[in-house]
Structure 1
């Protein structure tokens, strides 16, 4: 009798699971066959997220359904549908999936906030990343780059090959510590300092995080995981940055010290006088920055800061709380140093392998620099071939291989009905390696992004920094930092392949793209 009951329960559970996994099939949407309990988790981890997406698109097309554990996910790489999701019907897709594993502090960061709260915080942060603010940071970034050139000179003189990502992490960490916190940590020469140590450990996603495994495979266990204090970045590491950020704010508030860094800019929002509460205006159409002389193509749209959508949000007079300032500072630091270092790593690798492109880039930089000793905001803006080289590296090797949106009400697109709560996965890496959009996608060719050719790029096929009102708020800072570092390197050194340089480069993708065995190069003084 007990055995019969057990068999009955097991049979019922099996039928329920089978019905759940028929979700996309019933909607007529193709997709990979899920495994019981885990969905496509095992295959995704084995192949890597971006590589799995590329394979799935080739097998099932540009719209397919799959399962994260038992949760149905719709993957969309169709550019026209992406336009509707990311811009045209943005209010229905304003949120990202709530992972609920960030901890109470990071739940207040602009990257994970939802709805009106996201609009309010984003509106308060937009003025922090204007052209004028970046100009104020120029001296701080140049100082970090000068330190880099000095250290690279020692490697060049010793004919020493080195791994790019570990080096660039120290550079971007110095830049962000200086420009965000007004703090000099000199991790290039002191890699064991506390800032460097805690940041590297906090953002170590070289392997899949066990908290993410619990979230994807056993969502019913998340309440217990939260009670146990489990979160994607350990509380111990976060507490270090929280304590330092609060101390900086306290000291400046008490001593009236003012610095040209991002903490100061956010403090101004925190201390802004009360005004009539004006809510941000939702933008549902694409609005091009009037100052953008590059035209209305997608690349110009991405590279223009303060797009029409952001300007519409920037009219609010929202005051940040202390915890919100701390949350933004911490997430900008932790996310910014790693992704920028990854972008620099892949760009350096591409230039080492493609010497002709490197020579052309160096010449184009010198034509702009002429008698300038160090790059300025204005000179960087004139380096159009540098734009192309950076964008092509970001196309081939986006630091983040996927992004997501969540449908917050029932929605229909060309007869396809999407239910409220459905998560939309946008496979950035796969789209940017799709030969339909990018002929010879595995070839590094900056000419794709020349002024003449970028007009031909299909909109919504270059998504490294996202699209629409919820694109990466730090995009312009990241571009500027990457370009500044590369100008300093190329004016002083030739980048060369070394004995350890892999051709082609092997990749590891846990959601964050990285060289599997490191990207190795060496330098020669000019």
Structure 2
């Protein structure tokens, strides 16, 4: 009996592989063969920077070509206008994303990015209420308090004999402290307690390894693989328990928090829950959204801080102008207000330009939820359409002199302009990053505080040009430490 079943399974697998291998050959498009894709997955993606592999493929096959994500056909499109069509105009036909897979873990599966459409719409509305300007304004004091702690620490390093430093750990801890403060209402203080449970479990979730690679390439089967635990069970258990406990405590004091205007993200979610009779907004769902903001914000904020300070150090004339902007806005004040951050246009443009040159992820994708057509190409339900972010960000058609750090490309009439279909760091359309504005403010508050105290300079240990680490990396993306020299501001001669 069992030998026959095994034979049938092997036969079905062979038929599946044959169909996969022949898929693009029937559609008249240039394409990457599945055997080459499999080789690339096993070897190239672990020995080369993935965005560079994709860049070479675009040069070889053209701006529209067929490839695969695991066993699923994927249409790679290096065209910003088509990206806009898929992400915005055809949003209803491309609701899914490859990373939106069921794991069987309630905390993960209830995050906004994984919810079915009706529930997603309800929860997205609630979260939109959380990230309005008036609500973000109330969170600025929390950011500023943490930023002062880290700004003073970095200023002390600048005055020491060890002022050439990789700021990675400090920036990671700042992001952790800030995001936990506004998400859960907890003052972590990672400077004095760097091994707390939030750090311990938070670093596990997107750690490079086999589980993350399989989750990215074969998302539909990850939950059935006993050797691949994604997300890590210990981490989701910790965050699930802490979320439930904090929600229970917050409900007891919600009226007082509303009265004092000291609400954090979970408080605001609870307020929206009270005002919304929709059964979709359960405590379990709310805990998942705080978890989502945590995992989506920690690493990305820390990396963006590293990138921006690196580019300011290697472009000193830009750093001087950003310092002048911050100094002019702040005057003799030390406490950063919401209106101050809103005026720091050049600083924000520097953040966006840093993320243009080095986007944190190499591509963005959508899964067709119905049969449709893109650029005259028939797209079947379940197929993937993928856009290579790094290639688009370095295409001179969209960004002239793409290898140069030119923050002014994001400024127009003294306003920050990033609503271009070719800039995809935060995605685009209804499923773009909902916490984008809050994340940028978190970063601006710290850089503004540091610049008033310290100047960033490159030194003999600073890697120029910047080099990225090969393989699947969403956390440790730099090949070499970004070591910078810190100089106390009062010692700077201009």
Does TM-score exceed 0.5, indicating one fold?
A: yes
Secondary structure at the aligned position of 2:144 is classed as: helix
Q: Once superposed, what is the RMSD of the aligned Cα atoms?
A: 2.8
Choose which of 166, 170, 189 in structure 1 pairs with 2:169.
166
Choose which of 197, 200, 206 in structure 2 pairs with 1:194.
197
Using the TM superposition, name which of 61-70 and 146-155 deviates more. 61-70
Structure 1, unaligned runs of 5 or more: 1-5, 275-316
**Residue in 1 aligned with 2:124?**
122
**Residue in 2 aligned with 1:240?**
238
Instruction: Confirm or deny: 8 A CA contact 2:304 2:354 kept in the other structure.
Output: yes
> 1:107 & 1:118 partners in 2: Cα distance?
12
> 1:138 & 1:217 partners in 2: Cα distance?
40
Instruction: Confirm or deny: 8 A CA contact 1:272 1:319 kept in the other structure.
Output: no
Instruction: Confirm or deny: 8 A CA contact 2:345 2:415 kept in the other structure.
Output: no
- Does the alignment pair 1:56 with 2:57? yes
> 1:348 & 1:85 partners in 2: Cα distance?
34
Question: How many residues get paired?
Answer: 474
> 1:26 & 1:254 partners in 2: Cα distance?
62
> 1:397 & 1:427 partners in 2: Cα distance?
12
**Residue in 2 aligned with 1:27?**
27
**Residue in 2 aligned with 1:144?**
146
CA distance change for structure 1 residues 244 and 152 in 2, over 3 Å: closer, same or farther? same
- Does the alignment pair 1:510 with 2:472? yes
Instruction: Confirm or deny: 8 A CA contact 2:151 2:446 kept in the other structure.
Output: no
Residues 177-231 of structure 1, C-alpha deviation per residue, up to 9 Å, x if partnerless?
1111110010123211222222123332xx2342542773696x54632xx4954
Residues 466-517 of structure 1, C-alpha deviation per residue, up to 9 Å, x if partnerless?
1111100100101111111111111111011233210011112525272122
Instruction: Confirm or deny: 8 A CA contact 2:223 2:230 kept in the other structure.
Output: no
Choose which of 441, 448, 470 in structure 2 pairs with 1:480.
441
> 2:268 & 2:421 partners in 1: Cα distance?
32
Instruction: Confirm or deny: 8 A CA contact 1:269 1:319 kept in the other structure.
Output: no
CA distance change for structure 1 residues 164 and 22 in 2, over 3 Å: closer, same or farther? farther
> 1:253 & 1:377 partners in 2: Cα distance?
27
> 1:471 & 1:217 partners in 2: Cα distance?
23
Instruction: Confirm or deny: 8 A CA contact 1:269 1:318 kept in the other structure.
Output: no
**Residue in 2 aligned with 1:500?**
461
CA distance change for structure 1 residues 143 and 218 in 2, over 3 Å: closer, same or farther? closer
Using the TM superposition, name which of 460-469 and 44-53 deviates more. 44-53
1:218-257 maps to which residues of 2 (within 5 A)? 222=222, 224-225=224-225, 228=226, 230-256=228-254
**Residue in 2 aligned with 1:96?**
97
**Residue in 1 aligned with 2:492?**
none
TM-score (norm 1): 0.83
Residues 390-413 of structure 1, C-alpha deviation per residue, up to 9 Å, x if partnerless?
111010112222222111111113
TM-score (norm 2): 0.89
Structure 2, unaligned runs of 5 or more: 1-5, 490-494
> 1:456 & 1:141 partners in 2: Cα distance?
24
**Residue in 2 aligned with 1:265?**
268
Return the offset for 1:138.
1.2
> 2:275 & 2:376 partners in 1: Cα distance?
47
- Does the alignment pair 1:178 with 2:181? yes
CA distance change for structure 1 residues 208 and 465 in 2, over 3 Å: closer, same or farther? same
Using the TM superposition, name which of 108-117 and 128-137 deviates more. 108-117
Using the TM superposition, name which of 170-179 and 102-111 deviates more. 102-111
**Residue in 1 aligned with 2:3?**
none
1:422-433 maps to which residues of 2 (within 5 A)? 422-433=383-394
Instruction: Confirm or deny: 8 A CA contact 1:38 1:217 kept in the other structure.
Output: no
Residues 127-167 of structure 1, C-alpha deviation per residue, up to 9 Å, x if partnerless?
00010011101111110010011111221111422222222
- Does the alignment pair 1:80 with 2:81? yes
Using the TM superposition, name which of 138-147 and 412-421 deviates more. 412-421
Secondary structure at the aligned position of 1:412 is classed as: strand
Using the TM superposition, name which of 44-53 and 442-451 deviates more. 44-53
Using the TM superposition, name which of 451-460 and 470-479 deviates more. 451-460
Return the offset for 1:383.
1.6
Instruction: Confirm or deny: 8 A CA contact 2:372 2:378 kept in the other structure.
Output: yes
> 2:180 & 2:468 partners in 1: Cα distance?
28
Instruction: Confirm or deny: 8 A CA contact 1:401 1:511 kept in the other structure.
Output: no
Instruction: Confirm or deny: 8 A CA contact 1:343 1:397 kept in the other structure.
Output: no
> 1:463 & 1:126 partners in 2: Cα distance?
20
